[in-house]
Amino acid sequence: MNDPDARLRRLTLEFLRTLPQCEPETLASVTRALHDDNPSVRREAAETLGHFQRMESVPDLLEALEDDAWEVRWAAVEALGYIGKSDIVLFLVQRLNDAHGYVCRAAIEALGRIGNTTVAEYVIHELKNGKPYVRRAAKEALKHIGDAQIVPFLLQSLKYESDPTVLKDTENALNQISDIDAAPYFFEALREESERVRQIAAQALGRIGGIDAIAALMDLRHDPSLDVRIAVAAALGELGDTQACPVLLEFLNDKNPKLRRIAVKGLGRIGTPEAVPALIEFIQDENVVIRQAAIESLGRIGSSAAVPALMMILQDTSFRERWAAAYALGRIADPQATSILIESLQTEEDENVRRACAEALGQIRDAQAVVSLIHALSDQFWFVRWTAAHALGQIKDSRAVLPLISLFNDSHEKVRWAAVEALGQIGDSRAASSLIQALTDTDWDVCQAAARALGQVCRVETIPALFQAMAQRNEFVRRVAANALRRIEDEQALPYLIHAIKSEQEFIRNVAAEQIVHLRNVTVIRPLIKLLGDRNPNARRCAAEMIGELTHIVQDQKTLKRAAHFLWWRLTDIDDVAKAAFHALKQVANRLSVIKVTR
């Protein structure tokens, strides 16, 4: 810091800003640098003090506000804003009149970071400043303050602001306000002469919501400004209250296509069946955008009354409307549309419409669609194959198992993923071996899906395949197979589990032992007693441990005495086996004493 080269002093200060904290001696050196002869060094010192945000730096930074160099004043203002002490507000306010515009803007931004009602008063005053970049900074600061009281000032600024950038910033600031405390200001703004103010107010009330907001917006349905009526329609649709339906239905008769389209969308969001007849008429509108919006809204409402009309649209010349109709029929999920959707899936030329038909058939879940969906698994477009696989998983028909397994070699990972997911949903144990192979897929999402699916399809007959998977080197595959095995809570699994105790791999032995204990079946005691004589010492140790774990469920004294006899002989075995036998023998003895007492 005392080097005669100003560049080195400046670089030292830059380096200090990379440190998480500052020692008192270092802070003192940085503070002294505020009085350096070089203005660049003084600026770096101010920025460094702002970085550490230490309250003891405030007096020195306040002094730096009077520096002759504007860049030092700018850095001091920035630093004070980051420290954020409320009693420095008046000092920052003084910088609003600084000779340099960058300092003024920095002061406004700093006031915004401090953020309280007192600050808002000063920042709002700057909305009328003649410099556009200062006004932009003021509006940005007001967004950080977030006080509902700033709303009237922002609304007023819409009237006199001429700079397009500042005007856009003002609108953006107002469009982010959804505080219910601001509602009274927006209610009042609905009566303003300015169309733009009324429009912004209507949009805000759509975000804020409430009964009063709905009533106030409905009163504006005859506003002379088209932009205001459009804002009203959008707000009422966003609020989603059935009270707004009469007004939106009225807007359907407006000459302006944009207003009609927004009203159509709003009725779809509200979802009231009373709008269905009117919306059915609009699927024949001369405007293609309105027709598509009407189709989508009928799908949102989900009324079966719209199905015949939507089925007719599937034969329309516009592929966009056919796509929208198929999507809407899927949302309604009425089985009467199954036949037409199957036909469209088979004959449709546009791949996006075929995908929408496949998706709709999956949502309807009609088994009639299985054959057509299986055929769609060979579609040339991957997203059609992907959707068809997903749909087959939703229908859960076992006829799809083998065709879905054939997709495991598909070139696209999303198709393989969908096939794996679908097999998990169907839950057919025939898929187990293929799902185990899918655990080593090159795509991680496919591997995870295979892991989930294994837990859904595994039955007793899949246990050998699971043990084979547990013997692989891949840690992920081994653990997934083990988790799948743990989900099989069937007593018929016991012979497989007993056999697995003899495995040379500790992981397999431990999982098998854990599952045997979990099943809590008394019939397993006899095979475990026999296992005490196995040549594999690990198998003998596991058998002794499990006998000890399961002794408390055995009621037959003869079985317990037989277990004690064989455990006694194991006391002379190798250390691990002898120790396990000793603990198990104590459990057997305790259990025998309990049975004698109770009898």
Residue 433: inside a domain = yes
Write out the H or E segment, with its range, that includes residue 566: helix 557-569
Of 160, 151, 153, whose CA–CA distance to 187 is shortest? Answer: 151
CATH (domain of 441) = 1.25.10.10
- Which pLDDT value is given to residue 117? 56
111 found inside a domain: no
Asked, for residue 327, whether it belongs to a domain, the answer is no
**pTM flag (> 0.75):** no
Domain annotation covers residue 403? yes
Phi and psi angles of residue 166, each rounded to the nearest 5 degrees, phi first: -65, -40
- Written as six digits, the tokens of 138 are 């003021």
Residue 445 lies in a domain: yes
Count of domains in the chain?
1
Q: Is 444 inside a domain boundary?
A: yes
Q: Which pLDDT belongs to residue 166?
A: 66
Domain span including residue 435: 396-461
Is 19 contained in some domain? no
Separation of first and last alpha carbons in the chain? 91
Residue 279 domain-assigned (yes or no):
no
CA 299/CA 569 separation, integer angstroms: 75
List the structure tokens of 122. Answer: 């000063």
DSSP-derived letter for residue 130 is S
Q: Which residue has the tokens 């059915």?
A: 280
Distance CA 377, CA 138 (A): 58
pLDDT tens track, the chain, 599 positions: 677 787 888 888 888 888 878 788 888 888 888 888 899 989 988 888 888 888 888 888 888 888 889 898 888 888 887 887 766 766 766 776 677 877 877 777 777 677 655 565 566 565 555 566 666 666 566 656 655 767 877 787 777 666 777 677 777 778 778 888 888 989 999 999 889 999 999 999 999 998 899 999 999 999 999 999 999 999 999 999 999 999 999 999 999 999 999 999 999 999 999 999 999 999 988 899 999 999 999 999 999 999 999 999 988 778 899 999 999 999 999 999 999 999 999 999 999 999 999 999 999 999 999 999 999 999 999 999 999 999 999 999 999 999 999 999 999 999 999 999 999 999 998 999 899 889 889 898 898 888 888 888 888 888 888 888 888 778 888 788 888 888 888 888 888 888 888 888 888 888 888 888 888 888 889 899 999 998 889 889 999 999 999 998 888 899 999 999 999 999 999 999 999 999 999 999 999 888 876 65
